[in-house]
Amino acid sequence: MKFVPKDMGEAADVSASSQGWTSHLKLILAFLAAVVLVVAILGRLMGAAAYYMPDSWETKLAGLTKFSESSLTECDTEQHPYLTELFKDMVKKVATRKLDYRVECLQWEMLNAFALPGGKVILTKGFLDSVKTKEGIAMVLGHELGHHERRHIMQGLVSGLSTGVLLEILGAGDSVAGAISQQIIGLSVLKHSRENEYEADDFGLQYIVGNFDKTESVTEFFELVLQEQKEKGETASRFSEFLSTHPLTEDRIQRIKSNAKLLR
């Protein structure tokens, strides 16, 4: 029997190809690990930078964010005659920044409240029509004031700018690694936003505990939001929270109630 040696050229090519893919994968993983590290460091640096920015800078930015005057109205109504004075008392006792703090109301039917650069807290008509208790209103006012006092708005602006620059440097979208980097950065920003929401909740709750005799109604707004979500068939999950700027509403309600008991 004559021995015929096997051609190993094809096997050698397969082995080389496999090693090539392994090398590429290692490089991608190393790159992504570096991105995670850079994002973490950059987030802390930008947060610190925003914290030390002069209040006058934010006041100037406030001029760029304006609603139509026809949409704004007085917040003091027959139902909530105490609202403006409550906010003034809150500012006097817990505000430390040199901002033009004021509460204004927006003629929107949606149930919402938010903070704008420069010290503004905006309550919607839907909010005023729905939230009935003084504690519930004070909790939301304190929450939005907490965003100002903890400089979350400036942090968001600075973070957005730095994220845009980082994505431009990485060339996100031009490659697989770049596209994945974009998602990592986006998720990091979302996580930071959720942490800010908890911090603002704590700020508002501390005012309530120190200035109100009871805390049973502090979660009124959040319970209304949860009810609205259920009526719309919006189901929440841990995965949806992972992709959201806000924590799960159920978690916030339970957390606020638990902390209220601890602070008493």
Domain ranges, ordered by start, for the chain = 73-263
Closest residue by Cα to residue 105 from 79, 67, 139, 134 = 67
Q: Report the C-alpha gap between 44 and 263 in whole angstroms.
A: 29
Closest residue by Cα to residue 208 from 93, 71, 45, 117 = 93
Neighbours of 50 (CB within 10 A): 20
Q: Report the C-alpha gap between 227 and 24 in whole angstroms.
A: 49
Mean pLDDT of the chain: 77
Share of the chain above pLDDT 70, in %: 63
Is residue 122 within 8 Å of residue 116, measured between CB atoms? Answer: yes
The partner residues of 103 in beta bridges, in order of sequence, read: 121
The model's pTM is 0.73
102-137 pLDDT, tens per residue?
Answer: 999 988 899 999 998 899 899 999 999 999 999 999
DSSP label at residue 122:
E
Closest residue by Cα to residue 219 from 250, 244, 264 = 250
How confident is the model at residue 185, as a pLDDT? 43
Q: Report the C-alpha gap between 164 and 33 in whole angstroms.
A: 19
25-51 pLDDT, tens per residue?
Answer: 677 667 666 665 666 566 666 666 777
Is residue 62 within 8 Å of residue 98, measured between CB atoms? Answer: no
195-222 pLDDT, tens per residue?
Answer: 889 999 999 999 999 999 999 999 999 9
- At 238, the pLDDT band (50, 70, 90 cuts) reads very low
Is residue 204 within 8 Å of residue 143, measured between CB atoms? Answer: yes
The partner residues of 123 in beta bridges, in order of sequence, read: 105, 113
- At 239, the pLDDT band (50, 70, 90 cuts) reads very low
* CA distances for 251 relative to 99, 187, 209, angstroms: 32, 19, 20
Sign of the C-alpha dihedral, residues 234, 237, 242, 246? positive
How confident is the model at residue 107, as a pLDDT? 86
Q: How many residues can be counted in the chain? A: 264
How confident is the model at residue 62, as a pLDDT? 75
DSSP label at residue 217:
T
- Strands of the sheet with 113-116, listed across from one edge: 72-73, 102-106, 120-124, 113-116
- At 156, the pLDDT band (50, 70, 90 cuts) reads confident
Query: And the tokens for 148?
Result: 């100002």
54-66 pLDDT, tens per residue?
Answer: 888 888 877 766 6
Is residue 121 within 8 Å of residue 100, measured between CB atoms? Answer: no
N- to C-terminal Cα distance for the chain? Answer: 94
